[in-house]
Structure 1
Amino acid sequence: MTTDKRDDRLTARGGSVQGTVQVAGDKSISHRAIMIGALADGVTRVEGFLAGEDCLATLAAFRSMGVRIEGPDAGRVTIHGVGREGLRAPEAPLDMGNSGTSMRLLAGLLAAQPFPSELTGDESLRRRPMGRVVSPLTSMGGQVAALGEEGRPPLRISPVGSLKGINYELPVASAQVKSAILLAGLYADGETCVTEPAPTRDHTERMLSAFGYPVRREGSRACLQGGARVQAADLSIPGDLSSAAFFLVAAAMVPGSDLLLEGVGINPTRRGALDILLAMGAHIELQNERTHGGEPVADLRVRGGELRGIEIPSHLVPLAIDEFPAIFVAAAAAEGRTVLRDAAELRVKESDRIQTMADGLQALGIAAVPLEDGLVIDGGPISGGRVDAHGDHRVAMAFAVASIAASGPISISGAAAIRTSFPDFLEVARAVGLRIEAENE
């Protein structure tokens, strides 16, 4: 996958935050809808699919393995499932673009297939470590080899006779690794169980249950028995809380803001960012709570006010791991000091998000001190300036919304990757009153 560089630089000039909007469909759930729908018996119809580059990489991979998929068309996708034994060998390596979710989850699924495969990606993805997913899959009898240095992609997967179920304790909380093991476990002999050291998003377990596949959950442990069938289902994907977080922060930072975000997923294993912002004094109300496809959903109303710095509780870290670039911006605008620890995972995301955010905040006049596993931020006046997102979509969006509290324009390079997770970001941002321009406009 190549990234169009014409909108690689953004200029954000502040503005206001008012109105009612919907954010893009949940990226994590969109990935899983394609994967599990492809394995189902029957036709799965999906509403709210996120047509970002990451999810489109997953969709393209399954088309390459013989699955007929119609769409996406205005968020609608129709998946003609091939059943658990129906995938075909791809003719070329599967390009996951920038998507770590696609690579790790597909590694688990492909480890059980009777054909060889290879997973690759862009330069950023090929720098991300894969040892944590290779190790448990190998323990199940899979033949998964990382061809890059120090356990990095590409991943080469060779067919084996069968996999065996395992009881695996995750050394580090990771929904992607947990999901890879569970997807491999669909094909394994016996029971596969994964125990987490801390809660992580449970979309895989919820979606398997929605597709009629029994999953047993006991506290921090998720188990399934190999060999059952997956039945087609109709799904409605909620708005992505990770995408909503940027607008929650933008509205919360500025007194007088009043924003309603409709239909956002509030899965308990994803709402860490909400709880952190509430602890910082943000005025956020959950309205019209309901359930879609086994996932809890609500409309989020946020009004601006004064934020205060906090020491972020360690138990919320894995529940907000993708939202920290936005939270760091909230901390920059808050009164006092915010301290994050126990978040070393941020150093192996699309960029080293601890260092990248620290560098950017410092360029905007904020005292930000990186730690090995976190960041210390002293809130204060945010100035304009130039920052580099290093091709990280969430970093680029975080600095774009930081402009709402900045004294001057913020120029952001390395921003084209926004399309991987939120292709309509600029349109939604402008709809609520933010003034953000791409270089090519």
Structure 2
Amino acid sequence: MDITIAPRLLKGRITPPPSKSQAHRALIAAALAGGGSRIENLADSQDIQATSRCLAALCAPGSGLPLLDCGESGSTLRFLIPLSLVLRGGGRFTGRGRLMERPQEPYFRLFEEKHVCYSLEAGVLTVRGALPSGCYTLPGNVSSQFITGLLYALPLLEGDSDILLTTPLESGGYVDMALDVLERFGVRAVPNGSCAFHVPGGQTYRPHDMAIESDYSQAAFWYAARGLGSQVELQGLNPFSVQGDRCIVEDSASLCGPGEVELDVSQCPDLVPPLAVQAALRPGQTTRIVGAARLRMKESDRLSAVTQVLNALGSRVEEHPDSLTILGVDTLAGGVAVDSHNDHRIAMMAAVATTRAAAPVTIRGAESVRKSYPNFWEDYQRLGGMFL
């Protein structure tokens, strides 16, 4: 689906959609509690549909390895791999887009050490075996999704376990979110310093009712629009949330001032597209976005996609192996068609960029927003965005 947008600033109030990250974690905990939980304020995004679908297959009665279609959701895949071993002795995982190309080496190394069988053939990852209690060592500077997957599975084993990180933890806010949800559902995982977690075994998930918070990672695009001159008022966000992406409030504010700015996104990589579009329109000011290497294995090579799209619109972005350098301009030329790269965050970035373009912009693959923010285009239009 292609959408052509007329350049104009936005105005109005907006409540961002529910947190996809918190929803994944709450749905899994509720399923492990065996029913009786009520999870409110869920968004019907493709990623949440994937987790719901896979949980139904994983928890269904029957023998044999369940087939779990994770769509394009890295969270679904990485959270459920260890749980499949605990609940069903394994599973067969499939996905779409780039999902099955995204690295799983941290799990594979652990499986070899723990004598768990795995194979990846023709886009299907099969894992089979028993996940033992004990010590699990993995790097902290890969996706926090591996840590979260273990935090959910290890409490169900008979013996105690420990997760040890060999490098400093990145995206720690997502682990904090997992610990928060686990505690709500009656499960303990105890941080031991900054690079270790002790997980007592023999625990039981207990039913719990919770409402999903509004999502700071989606709100980030409206913060960027506001930083570019739109009169957007955000509401419904929890100012005390454990969401790591809450730092968008401070980071966006820093881009509204003069002078060179350096932003380390190692703890909040999903914020790069909205931060980059705001940085692109800081006339004569330089912004460096660093600590972003993991973005190369998202729905797209997100560092490359951000660079291609913003430069096509008329910005000045330099791409480096793990960073971006952006020299701000007064306005974007627009007047072109840009590709979303099948990446929801790139599509939303392009939409925000168009608010400050001199000519209309066509976004190809605009339907990609369904992955995380199904109502994005309706909200954009409600704020005054005009489609041609």
Give the TM-score taking structure 1 as reference length.
0.80
Instruction: For residues 154-206 of structure 1, give each alpha carbon's deviation from its aligned partner in whole angstroms, at most 9, with x where no partner exists.
Output: 3201132x412214242414221111222231233322224361352222111
Q: Which residue of 1 aligns with 2:182?
A: 208
RMSD over aligned Cα atoms: 2.2
Q: Would you say the 8 A contact 2:286–2:325 is kept in 1?
A: yes
Q: Which residue of 2 aligns with 1:225?
A: 200
Distance 1:101 1:423, change over 3 A: same
Aligned-partner Cα distance in 2 for 1:218–1:433 = 49
Aligned-partner Cα distance in 2 for 1:37–1:399 = 36
Q: Which residue of 1 aligns with 2:369?
A: 418
Distance 1:108 1:258, change over 3 A: same
Q: Would you say the 8 A contact 1:368–1:377 is kept in 2?
A: yes
Aligned-partner Cα distance in 2 for 1:382–1:146 = 44
More helix by share: 2
Q: Which residue of 2 aligns with 1:147?
A: 121
Aligned residues: 378
Q: Which residue of 2 aligns with 1:62?
A: 55
Matched, 1:280 2:255: yes
Distance 1:12 1:138, change over 3 A: farther
Matched, 1:368 2:317: yes
Return the offset for 1:329.
0.4
1:177 pairs with 109, 124, 146, which one?
A: 146
Which aligned pairs between 1:237-276 and structure 2 lie closer than 5 A? 237-254=212-229, 257-264=231-238, 266-267=241-242, 269-276=244-251
**Partner letter of residue 386 of structure 1?**
A
Matched, 1:330 2:278: yes
Q: Which residue of 2 aligns with 1:294?
A: none
Name the stretch that deviates more: 351-360 or 209-218.
Answer: 209-218
Which aligned pairs between 1:22-61 and structure 2 lie closer than 5 A? 22-61=15-54
1:93 pairs with 44, 53, 67, which one?
A: 67
Q: Would you say the 8 A contact 2:225–2:232 is kept in 1?
A: no
Moved segments of 4+, more than 4 Å: 87-92, 306-309
Matched, 1:351 2:322: no
Gaps of 5+ in 2: none
Q: Would you say the 8 A contact 1:119–1:155 is kept in 2?
A: yes
Matched, 1:187 2:164: no
Q: Which residue of 2 aligns with 1:163?
A: 132
Aligned-partner Cα distance in 1 for 2:186–2:59 = 23
Aligned-partner Cα distance in 1 for 2:141–2:59 = 34
Aligned-partner Cα distance in 2 for 1:435–1:140 = 56
More strand by share: 1
Q: Would you say the 8 A contact 1:332–1:378 is kept in 2?
A: yes
Gaps of 5+ in 1: 1-7, 68-86, 282-305
Q: Would you say the 8 A contact 1:142–1:163 is kept in 2?
A: no
Aligned-partner Cα distance in 2 for 1:219–1:349 = 29
Aligned-partner Cα distance in 2 for 1:45–1:342 = 38
Return the offset for 1:131.
1.5
**Partner letter of residue 397 of structure 1?**
M
Instruction: For residues 9-54 of structure 1, give each alpha carbon's deviation from its aligned partner in whole angstroms, at most 9, with x where no partner exists.
Output: 1222233332222111100111111111111044110111121001
Give the TM-score taking structure 2 as reference length.
0.90
Aligned-partner Cα distance in 2 for 1:235–1:109 = 22
Aligned-partner Cα distance in 1 for 2:182–2:62 = 22
Q: Would you say the 8 A contact 1:65–1:89 is kept in 2?
A: no
Q: Would you say the 8 A contact 1:113–1:159 is kept in 2?
A: no
Q: Would you say the 8 A contact 1:309–1:334 is kept in 2?
A: no
**Partner letter of residue 9 of structure 1?**
D
Q: Would you say the 8 A contact 2:222–2:232 is kept in 1?
A: no
Q: Would you say the 8 A contact 2:344–2:369 is kept in 1?
A: yes
1:383 pairs with 318, 333, 348, which one?
A: 333
Matched, 1:120 2:94: yes
Instruction: For residues 253-311 of structure 1, give each alpha carbon's deviation from its aligned partner in whole angstroms, at most 9, with x where no partner exists.
Output: 11x62413323574253323333212223xxxxxxxxxxxxxxxxxxxxxxxx676512
2:108 pairs with 110, 134, 142, which one?
A: 134
Name the stretch that deviates more: 267-276 or 118-127.
Answer: 267-276
Aligned-partner Cα distance in 2 for 1:16–1:419 = 23
Q: Would you say the 8 A contact 2:13–2:234 is kept in 1?
A: yes
Aligned-partner Cα distance in 2 for 1:424–1:320 = 23
Name the stretch that deviates more: 271-280 or 244-253.
Answer: 271-280
Return the offset for 1:89.
4.8
